Structures are given as structure tokens and as C-alpha cells.
Amino acid sequence: MSQDDILQSTKTVIQGLEALKNEHGKMLENILETPPTSPKDANKIEEKAGLLRKSMDMIELGIGEAQVMMQLGNHLQNLEAEKHKLRTQVKRLCQENAWLRDELATSQKKLHDCEQSNASYSVELEHLKFLKDVKQYDVNDNNSSTTNTSSGQTADLVNDLFPTDDDAYMDQQSVQERNQSYADLMMTPSQSASGSFISSTGYEIPARLKTLHNLVIQYASQGRYEVAVPLCRQALEDLEKTSGHQHPDVATMLNILALVYRDQSKFKEAAALLNDALAIREKTLGHDHPAVAATLNNLAVLYGKRNKFKEAEVLCKRALEIREKCLGSVHPDVAKQLNNLALLCQ
């Protein structure tokens, strides 16, 4: 039976009990109005009246219980209606929450896209600024090269790839330290038709690295390390993406970045970069390559600045052995290396 059927049956029972109560009331009135003819009749009348009163009390109790059931049923109906109303509200709130989640996801996606676009535009802007500076520096460098050629001066371009600390340190000339250069590959280059520089062993040094190095030196000399360091790191990342980490150009770029750190007196970071460059050059060019000797010499100078003279002496001796083997014992670079070793041994 449904709840409505139960309520309807309860109403019918209440009506029947009300009718029975009225009937018992009339019977009680009739009995009480009838005069007794004898004491025995009076007792019977009193007994009947008691039974009727008891029945009426039970009928009233049943009516009260039925009314309580009716009220309870109505209350349950109200609760069910309230429950249905709350369920409807919850459903609507869930739908609204789902819509808000979709809106949040869309907004987050738009924000992420905007951040990516902003980062891409920032990188592109920095790249364009770099290209502008490189182009401007190339023009100045070409004009300077033309003047130097007409005057008969032939500069060793590869030696300018990494300004030296070895001669500056070993000669104790701190004032001229920035003006001297590392012998980065320690060999005389020739310029190819593409504008790159090719050493006597066939290793080609891209002209863009030469230009980039000069640009970094310009920024470093102005104290603009906040520009020079990101410029080196961006160029290093581009080289690693295009050529891989184990490439001679990456080693050259590591040397350039080590120079910037050296100028900032960050000798520990510079030494780590030079060690990485040394490992790359040994793997790609061979253990007896002049470029390996140059890196060993630069690393020895850096160890000397950190007062690690024993380590510096070992590196300097190894660089001397390589240069004597590749260049001969009467080469000027061998003489410089001997001078550096002598100063370290003092």
C-alpha cells in the first residue's frame, strides 16, 4: 500500500470510530435516562453504563492514535516534499558547479596560452635584439678588418675567441688582464669562403661564435653581466639543440661563458665549465689536440687564481707536452707555456 492509501484508510477508520462513539454516547444516555424498577435493575444499568464508558474511552484512544498517524503522514509528506526540493537545489548547484569548472578550465587554458605566447614573444624579442647587436657589431668588425688588412696586420682570430688569463696572471699584470687573450685553440686559422675560421687541423670555428664572443666581451667590459650571461646561456642552449652537447662549438661556447664568470670572480663556476669543455674537446678532437692544450692552460690559470698550485702545475705540464708534440719545441706558444710553468713552480 502506498502512503496515500494508508492515509485514506486512516480517515475512514476515524470516521467509523466517530460514528461508533456517537452511537455509544446515545446508548449511554438512554440507559442513564431509564429509571430502575428494582435494585437488581439498577445494578445492571450501572454495569452496562460502565461497559459503554470503557468502550467509549477505547474508541477515543483509537481516534487519537489515528489522528496522530494522520499528522505523522502529513509530516512525512512535508519532509518528502522538502527532500525533493533540496534534491532539486543540489542538482542545480551541481550543474552550476560543473559550469563553473568548465569556465575555470577554459580561463586557465587561456591564461596558459597567454603565458606561453608572452614567453615566446619575450624570447623572440631577445633574439631580435641579439641579431640587431650582432648585425651592428658585424658591420663594425668588417670595417675594422678592412682597416687592419690594408695596414698589413694579420690577427690570430682564433686566439681572440677567449681572452687570456694565463699571460695576465703569469706576468702579474692585472691592469692588462682583460686586454690579453686566451689561446683558445692555439693554432693559426685561415678564413673560409663561408666566413668561418678553419684551423690547421681542419676544425672549423663558426664566425658567429667569434662575433658572439666579441659582443659578450663588449657587454662584460661595460659591466653588463645581466645581459652577457643570458646571451651566452641562450646561445649554448641553441648549440646543444642543433649540434648536441658533445660538439666542439659547445666547448667553445662553454669557454666564452667561463670567461664571463671569471670576470665576475666566480672561479668555481668557471672551472666547472672549463672542465666540461675539456671533456668535450678530448672526446671530439682527441687528447693531443692543441685546443685541448689551450683548455688545459686556461684551467691551470683558473686553478692558480684559486691557489690550487699543485693541480695547476699538473695541467700546465700536460698542456706543455701536447704543444711540444703538436707544434715543436721551438714554437712561441711552447715558450709561453714554459714561462707559465716556471711561474707556477716559483
Q: How far apart are CA 199 and CA 63, in angstroms?
A: 117
Tell me the CA distances in angstroms from 75 to 64, 79, 82, one per residue in order.
16, 6, 10
Contact assessment for residue 42 and residue 36, using Cβ atoms and an 8 Å cutoff: yes
Pairwise CA distance, residues 211 & 228, whole Å: 13
Q: Work out the pLDDT band at 54, boundaries 50, 70, 90.
A: confident
For residue 42, give the C-alpha cell: 439498577
Instruction: Name which of 35-49, 85-99, 154-168, 268-282 the model is least confident about.
Output: 154-168
Using one digit for the tens of pLDDT, what is the confidence trace for 269-304? 999 999 999 999 999 999 999 989 989 998 998 888
Average per-residue pLDDT for the chain = 77
User: Where are the chain's structural domains?
Assistant: 3-101, 207-345
What's the CA gap between 149 and 276, in Å, rounded? 36
CATH fold of 207-345, please?
1.25.40
pLDDT at 158: 33
CA atoms within 13 A on the CB side of 185: 27
Question: Do 278 and 299 touch, CB atoms closer than 8 A?
Answer: yes
* DSSP type of residue 162: B
